[in-house]
């Protein structure tokens, strides 16, 4: 997604606080924790808090015409 053809600036992902496996996958991919989204999604009958992570494109170049 960070290729010159697609050229995204960032990708964001969120996971439940107790989901250590998802946290580990995102960390291996280079995602960094940004914070906590309270009552982010309604899952199994309740609003659940999520950890918000992101990875940014260090090579991002502003496209012509911006």
How do the pLDDT tens digits run along the chain, 66 residues long?
888 888 899 999 999 999 999 999 999 999 999 999 999 999 999 999 999 999 999 989 888 888
pLDDT of residue 55: 97
Does 64 fall in a domain? no
Q: Provide the whole-model pTM.
A: 0.85
Q: Which domain holds residue 18?
A: 10-56
pLDDT of residue 63: 82
pLDDT of residue 6: 86
Does 66 fall in a domain? no
Does 3 fall in a domain? no
Alpha-carbon gap, residue 33 to 52, rounded angstroms: 6
Question: Angle 55-26-58 (CA atoms, 0-180°, nearest 5)?
Answer: 20
Measure CA 37 to chain center.
Answer: 12
The DSSP secondary-structure symbol of 29 reads T
As for how many domains the chain has, the answer is: 1
Does 52 fall in a domain? yes
Does 65 fall in a domain? no
């Amino acid at each position: 997604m960070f290729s010159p053809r697609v050229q995204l600036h960032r990708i964001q992902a969120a996971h439940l606080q107790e989901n250590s496996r998802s946290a580990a996958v995102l960390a291996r991919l280079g995602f960094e924790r940004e914070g906590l989204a309270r009552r982010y999604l309604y899952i199994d009958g309740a609003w659940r808090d999520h950890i918000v992570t992101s990875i940014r494109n260090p090579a991002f170049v502003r496209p012509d015409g911006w």
